[in-house]
Structures are given as C-alpha cells and as structure tokens.
Structure 1
C-alpha cells in the first residue's frame, strides 16, 4: 500500500473515531441530564430491580429513593415515572401537548389495530375528531341528562338480579363484581344500541366478560417483546397472540350486537320509512353517520373503526366501573363502621336513591372518592409517550420515552394525605374537597389534560348511584363466614387494577324497622 493511501486511510479512521467520540460524548451529556434513577444493569436495564410487588407499588418504592421524577430502563425501553402531584402538575400544565402521545405495547397491535381507537391512537387529527365526538355527542351534559332514566333502570335491574341471585346463594354468597359488570354492560348497551343486552343467564355476556377481562389483563402484563424489540417477531411469551385471540372473540360478540341492531333497523325501515325520526339518536347512529359518502375522507370511519370504538367503550366502561364498585364494597365490608355510616345516610330517606339525590349524599360521594384514591382503576393511567424531546423540571425527556404517571403513588403520598393507607371517606367531607376533573393533582383517578378519560362525567353519575342503590337495598355479610379482618385485599394488575380474589358476599334484603 502506498504511503499516501496509508495517510488517507489514517485520516479517515481518525475522522471516524473523532465523530464516534463526539457522538458518544453528546449522548453521555444527554443521558446525564435524564431524571435520576437506579443504576441500570447491562441488557436488562432495571427490570430485576422492580421485585415481585405489583408494579405501581414497586415503582413507588423506587421513587422514595430516587425522586418523584425518575428514569427506568425496561430492557431498551426508556421510561420516565412521575410519582408526585408537583411533577404531575408540571407535566399536565406545561408539557401536555408534547407528552400526549401513546406508548403502544405489542399486545395492543394485531389484526384489530390501535389507530381507530380513542384510547390508544396517537395524538393528531383523527384522535381530536374522536375526542370531539365524546365531548359534543357522547358525554355532553344534555345527552347525559336525557339518559338519566335509562341509567336508573339499568341499576334497578341490577338490584333485582342481586335479590334473585341472593335467594339461591345461601352462605356461598354472590360474586358481587359480576352484577356490577352486568349493570355497566347494559348501561353501555343502552348508550350505543338503545337496549339492554344481557341478563345473569346470558351466555354471550359470560363469554364477553371473560374475553374482555383477558384482554385487559394481558395488555397490562409485562411483555419481554416490548423491552427487547428484536424479539417482537418471535412473541416469546405469546402475549400478542393470546391477546389477539381474546380480542377477536370479543369483537365477534360486539359485532353480533351491531349486526342485530342493523338488521332490526333495516327491517323497521322497510315497514316505516320515518323510523329515524321516531327514535333518539344513540352512539351507534352517530358513528354510522361518519361512515357515509357525505363525510370528508379524512374523517370517515371504516366498519373496523366502528367495531374498535364500540369494543373499546364496552371494555373500558365495564372494566373500570366494575373494578371501582367492587373495591368500594370490599373496603366497606372490611370497615363495618363506614358501611353503617353510609347506609344510615342512604336510609334516612324512605325511597330508593335517584341520580338527582346524589348531591344530598355527601358521605356516599366521599366513599367513591376515597375508593378511587386508594384503588384507581388505572394506576398508571394509560401510558403516555413523548412525541418529541422536551425539558421538564430541568431534566431531558427523550423523544419516544414512555411516561408513567403513578396516580396510585400520588394518591397515597403522605405529603398530601394524612394516614394515606387507611380507608377514610371523611377526608373528602370538607366543603369543596377535591374532585376528579383533573385540576387537583393530588387526586387524578381519571387523569388530566388532553388525554383525560372523556367518560368521567358519566362515571361521576353512575358510580355513586350504583353503589348507593345496593347499599340501600341490602344488608351485606361476607360469604363463607369470612371475617372482615381476614378479607383478601390482594391486587391483580392488568390494564385495570382488580381484586385478585373476587368479592363474595351475601345480600340480605333490607326491611325498615316497623313504623318507619
């Protein structure tokens, strides 16, 4: 090799080494400005430092050591964990747009994609259109007011289902969550299809309950394919495959409801061409309006998108409602003095509670809020993603970082809550003491900002009325002679936070004292 060739090669190598070193130094500097966190291990990152606790508890434990804004590496997935009200306020008030992306796990991908979804689609025009539908058509106050009677009937049917089941249950009791699920499913069914869909003996209801529950469980399960992208094609744990199996089965059931509704409507149209004028518009009518030729192409819904939205409303609406009400009942049965207090409030009136009465039931509302504080249905909300790099609290947040807001840790932060692990509804009895509209950052069960749960106006009406109705109508005893202090309060983590062991209790119809 000639001398000039050697010199040229040497210069190229030196330039390459210089470029690599400068790139490395920039990367080191960038990484040095990340939020603090535990030392990462090679390849696996911080996975093994999480321990065997439920993840919202293990991350709260790590945050006590490393701070309220913390960096973790789950394999190659960079994750920023927010564990205090101060940092949550900074995020939602000053960085809401740039952190409004969604981290899409492998389990959420497949034949039925995530892009038609309100919950998992990325922030952009399609998502904004879906959100606008929710705020102007689905969960607007005027529509919720007109549906008040429907909600009341769904809850009345639940009370009757419980009474019927309780007569046959004996000391084994009933699966309390199952009846809350039936109520929530029929409520969503009325919002979308204008009809009840299930009863306790419904085979389709049992299958949907099973498949939807498995989807929520698997989608929230740690998946090695998310941590190590090179393994995605292999799906080593089979989570994506299993999730898609249950999604498809649940889609078949939801699609069957849609098909039945469409066939019934077509039949009615043949008999009476003005049928549309005779019925109130429900959610499905609104969705179908976005499928027609008169809709701008960018805003047009495919049949699959409609299926995704319907499926999402059923799974998200039923699972979170069921979880919250089951935890509320469990906490009250474990704290008999609180149960007695809320029942006394409810039974001062000689009639069953109605939605308009809820404002006059402050302790009942406090029970719901305290349940949401201790057992938020989504302990990390739905994971956010940084759509671009940004600076927050002086730290660098890299693009595509996963952002977890640990609302469970925030709701149990001793800096904000006295005796934070105790179930004390009284803490919410002070006038104007915190709501769940996303403005009190110590209490964020429905999130905050652009990606706050759009259904919280509906939840704020349904949760207290459903709980109040079963507490007013029945006295409750734990099944199989279990004592209050022996209750299993272990958690089962999926996307939502459920009781690991379903709550079983005996409903005893309440009979007012003679002369009352």
Structure 2
C-alpha cells in the first residue's frame, strides 16, 4: 500500500470493478497509441547507438544506458510531444532503478508480513518513501502538464486516459488509478526491457560469429525494421527468444491458466 496509493495499481490491486475498469482503459490506451511505437523505437534506437558510440573505448555500465532509453521510449509513448527534458527523465529512470532495488531488500519486504514493524526505525523504508515521493512528483507533474495544455497530443496513452481522445470509450479513471496506471507502465516496462537487453549484449559478447550474422541479416533487410518485421528476421527473432528463455526478466509474472475450476475471492475461475 505504501508504493501503490493503497492498492490502486494493476500489479498489486485486487480484481474489483475499479481495477477492471483500469485494466480495460490501459489496454485501450495502449492500442490507440500503439501506432506510434514503430517510429518511436527507431528514433530511440538511433539515440541509444549514438550514446553508446560516444563512450568510445571507455568502460561503461550498459544497464544504466538501457534503463534510460527504455524509460525514454515509454515516456514518449505516454506523453508524446510533452515528454520532459532528458535530464529530468534520466533522474527519473535512476529513481525507478533505485526504488526497485530498495523494494527488494529484506528489511522492506518484511513489512508486508509484519506491518507493525513500520513503527521501528528502518533506513530502507525511509529511502523507499523518499524514492516513491520522487516518483509520484514526476508523474503528477506530467499529468498537470497535460491537463494545463490547451491542445495536448491526442495520440498518447495519457491523452486517451484523460479522455481527450474522442474515439476512446469508457469513463475517465479516478486520479489515483490514473496515477498508478502510468506508474505501472514505467515500472513494468523499464527494468524488464533493460535487463533483457543487458543479457543479450552479455551473451553476444561471447559469440562474435553470431554478431556478424545478425549484422548481415539486418543489413539485408529492406528499410529499417519495425515491430512487425520479426518474421523476416529469423535469426534476430531466435536470438531474442533464446535470451528470454535463458534469462527471463519476469519469470513469475507470466500469464498462467487454471488446471481445474476454482474460486478466488468469491469469483469463479474457469479452467
């Protein structure tokens, strides 16, 4: 509850009517704004390559670079032309990384099992609350910026969730659920994608012959590849699939199916 405004998010919230409305609204918003994903990925990929080349032969932590550019891609999909400046976005991406690390500490995880421990001094909890405050301030600033803009972009996730898109269906989300919907998209997409990219680079460093074959396949493609072109890039598709198989970024978060009919919180779950 400390990180989700009382369970108002998709990842930690229960299957109540508000949660189902939130899930449907987010899915619809992603579908409406998904047409911009291809150009965004191409633009962000070029910026990522430029930053990596700028380091030359100097050592660097690629995970931090991947984290920023993944976060930047999500921000552009959510906010469009109203995306915050790179310095602000880079600070926010670092905040997300630190928040996930602190949230995984045993001193913080123990509070879920024993809430009375929150009354005791806990440096990990203090740092977590400080990072959550930074996260929430960033998200609220973007929402206010969109609400104050006389002509905000309509083909963005936030624009659809705010009800600015006349083609969108459903009522607007409540402020807490709108806030946590944006947080979920950042939290769920930033570290997982950055981790997958980091492992792909680590594996490819040990397979230079595979790097040559991948460059040849990409070089032979007609035009810049887009999200729907994986079918004509079989080696790249196999490399991505094998990376995710060896190092799944969210092994316990994959969809599951029920083996038998059951009930959960008085709701039927069909096999």
- Normalization by structure 2: what TM-score? 0.78
Partner of 1:336: 208
Partner residue, 2:8: 116
| Aligned partner (choices 15, 21, 29) of residue 138 of structure 1 | 29
Structure 2 CA distance, aligned partners of 1:356 and 1:312? Answer: 25
Asked if structure 2 preserves the Cα contact closer than 8 Å seen for 1:287 and 1:306, the reply is yes
1:397 alignment counterpart: none
Task: Supply the distance in 1 between the matched residues of 2:42 and 2:82 (Cα, whole angstroms).
Answer: 13
Distance 1:133 1:165, change over 3 A: closer
Aligned to 1:69: none
The offset of 1:162, in angstroms, is 3.7
Alignment partners' CA distance in 2, 1:227 and 1:182: 30
Three-state SS of the structure 1 residue aligned to 2:129 is helix
> Larger % of helix: which?
2
In the alignment, which residue of structure 2 is the partner of 1:415?
none
- Deviations 1:330-380, CA, capped at 9 Å, x for gaps: 211122233233222222236332334221111211111111112111233
Q: CA RMSD in A?
A: 3.1
Distance change >3 Å, CA 235–CA 317, structure 1 → 2: farther
Which of 159, 168, 171 pairs up with 2:57? 171
CA distance in 2, matches of 1:354, 1:301: 32
- Cα distance change of structure 1 residues 255 and 355 upon mapping to structure 2, 3 Å threshold: same
> 1:152–1:219: structure 2 CA closer, same or farther, 3 Å change rule?
same
TM-aligned CA deviation for residue 120 of structure 1: 0.6
Could you tell me how far 1:260 is from its partner in structure 2? 1.9
Structure 1 distance, partners of 2:163, 2:88, is 28
| Structure 1 residue 361 corresponds to structure 2 residue 251 | no
Instruction: Show the counterpart of 1:218.
Output: 102
Give 1:231 shift. Answer: 4.6
Partner of 1:447: 255
Report Cα offsets for 1:236-295 as digits up to 9, x if no partner.
544333212101101112222222222223xx4xxxxxx8xxx644322333249xxxx9
Checking the alignment, whether the CA contact within 8 Å between 1:225 and 1:231 is kept in structure 2 is no
Cα distance between partner residues in 2 of 1:227 and 1:143: 36
Specify whether residues 134 and 330 from structure 1 end up closer, same or farther in structure 2 by C-alpha distance, changes over 3 A only. Answer: same
Cα distance per residue 1:467-495 (max 9 Å; x no partner): xxxxxxxxxxxxxxxxxxxxxxxxxxxxx
Which of 166, 181, 205 is residue 89 of structure 2 equivalent to?
205
1:240 and 2:125 aligned:
yes
CA distance in 1: counterparts of 2:72 and 2:82, whole angstroms? 5
Runs of 4+, deviation exceeding 4 Å: none
Tell me which residue corresponds to 1:286.
Answer: 160
Maintained 8 Å contact 1:193/1:283 = yes
Distance 2:97 2:2 in 1: 18
TM value normalised by structure 1: 0.44
**Per-residue displacement from partner, 1:17-48 (whole Å, max 9, x unpaired)?**
xxxxxxxxxxxxxxxxxxxxxxxxxxxxxxxx
> 1:179–1:228: structure 2 CA closer, same or farther, 3 Å change rule?
closer
Q: Distance in 2 between matches of 1:448 and 1:195?
A: 37
Q: Is it true that 1:125 corresponds to 2:10 in the alignment?
A: no
Deviations for 1:52-76, whole angstroms, at most 9, x for unmatched residues?
xxxxxxxxxxxxxxxxxxxxxxxxx
Structure 1 unaligned residues grouped into runs of 5+: 1-108, 269-274, 382-445, 451-516
Task: Confirm or deny: 8 A CA contact 2:22 2:173 kept in the other structure.
Answer: no
C-alpha distance 196-245 of structure 1, shift in aligned 2 (>3 A): same
Unaligned runs of 5+ in 2: 259-271
Shift of 1:327: 1.4
Contact 2:33/2:155 (<8 A) preserved: no
> Greater strand percent: which structure?
1
Aligned to 1:311: 183
In structure 2, do the counterparts of structure 1 residues 171 and 151 end up closer, same or farther at CA, with 3 Å as the change threshold?
A: same
Could you tell me how far apart the structure 2 residues matched to 1:214 and 1:196 are? 25
Aligned residues: 253
